[in-house]
Amino acid sequence: MSRHVAQRLPPLAAWLLHGAPRVTACSRTNGCIAEPGTHAAGGHAARVAAERQLSSLAAGPSSPSSAPPGRKLNLCNAINEALATALDSDPRACVFGEDVSFGGVFRCTVGLADRFGGARVFNTPLCEQGIVGFGIGLAASGHTAVAEIQFADYIFPAFDQLVNEAAKYRYRSGGMYDCGGLTVRTPFGAVGHGGHYHSQSPEAFFTHVPGLKVVIPSTPSDAKGLLLAAIRDPDPVVFFEPKMLYRTAVGVVPEDDFEVPIGKARVVSAGIDVTLVGWGPQVQVLQAAAQKAQTENGVSCEVIDLRTLMPWDVDTVCESVGKTGRLVVSHEAPQTGGFGAEIIATVARRCFLRLESPPLRVAGADTPFPLVFEPLYLPSLQRVMRAIRQTVKF
């Protein structure tokens, strides 16, 4: 059966406005642990300070012309531009995978073979284990290997290569050898009609493996900057691309060569009542929920796009929860064993004395990904809103 998705991606309900910079009320050096008896006063002071800063942010930036020059791209084109930049700047870089020479299923590699030649951008057999194994050997010999797995649902035949070979290559050789030049790109998540073989979110599997980094962008600018950072990172990286956003996410992307730091979260919008954490396509849902909660309930939510799951930005999340006292984590993957549990466990340890209610998860169901029941499976706006109301009313 063909793995190609013939239909175009359905549009999301809306592309929501970007939020203000982060407002912090908790020291990075001290984490979010408060001494007994100090929470009430410290929380009130932090809330007042945050309210004042939010008021000043509402007026917008003082010098909008200071933004870096760029042009509007969708996420798919931003990925293509990042790959072209990597190939242009590194003569030892290669891009390969199923159908990549003609542009791939989602057209992310279109034009690259014509520009850089078939020796550097080429098709592979339909064999995920072989694709990643070849990438490991290429990277170990000093090349920059950018492998594409056509759908994240099919990355599992390559699981052994990633977990037992790529992740351990440097460690088992005592640092003599490594395959840090390996980046594995793969589209993941719901697409509106993909069913159980074209919709899965397997990112949590790889966060459990020391030696691998896991990166997930949600905007075109981050897609370009994070992919360039992943390609040049000294460790092997699994780079998950939210296919629902390939053409629905549009934003200004700097034209120059730039990197977004791996391991640093992005505060999408500031808030003082509830912290909402997500990644990939779920960031849009959290933005919509934050706007709806503010409009309908007067609840101010701080939205954080994690961007990197391994290593993840513990400090930014804990600073936010130290201010709001409430946390909702949302992801498309099934709830049990999802990465949201790791976030909540860490927050519960570091921010326990500042929590106003138990942290909550809004996630996919513990079932195979359905087809016609996809709207019921996904962590929707309505489900996130219920979690926000629940944590505020606790």
Amino acid at 194: G
Q: Report residue 302: phi and psi, to 5°.
A: -95, 120
Determine whether 18 is an active site residue.
Answer: no
Determine whether 128 is an active site residue.
Answer: yes
| Interatomic CA distance for residues 354 and 356, integer angstroms | 6
3-state SS of 138-191 is HHHCCCEEEEECCCHHHCHHHHHHHHHHHCCHHHHCCCCCCCCCEEEEEEECCC
Report cis status (omega within 30 of 0) of the bond before 261: no
User: Annotated catalytic residue: which of 81, 98, 148, 198?
Assistant: 198
Which contacts (CB < 8 Å, 24+ apart) does range 167-170 have?
167/209, 167/210, 167/211, 167/212, 167/236, 168/211, 169/136, 169/140, 169/211, 169/236, 170/211
Q: Report residue 272: phi and psi, to 5°.
A: -130, -5
Amino acid at 115: R
CA-derived radius of gyration, the chain: 21
The answer to whether 386 touches 289, Cβ cutoff 8 Å, is: no
* Three-point CA angle 42, 47, 50, nearest 5°: 125
Cβ-proximal residues to 171 (8 Å cutoff; 6+ apart), any chain: 210, 211
| Interatomic CA distance for residues 229 and 337, integer angstroms | 28
User: Annotated catalytic residue: which of 98, 128, 302, 332?
Assistant: 128
The answer to whether 116 touches 153, Cβ cutoff 8 Å, is: no
String of b and e for 57-76 (b: at least 16 CB within 10 Å)? eeeeeeeeeeeeebeebbbb
Query: Could you list the active site residues?
Result: 128, 198
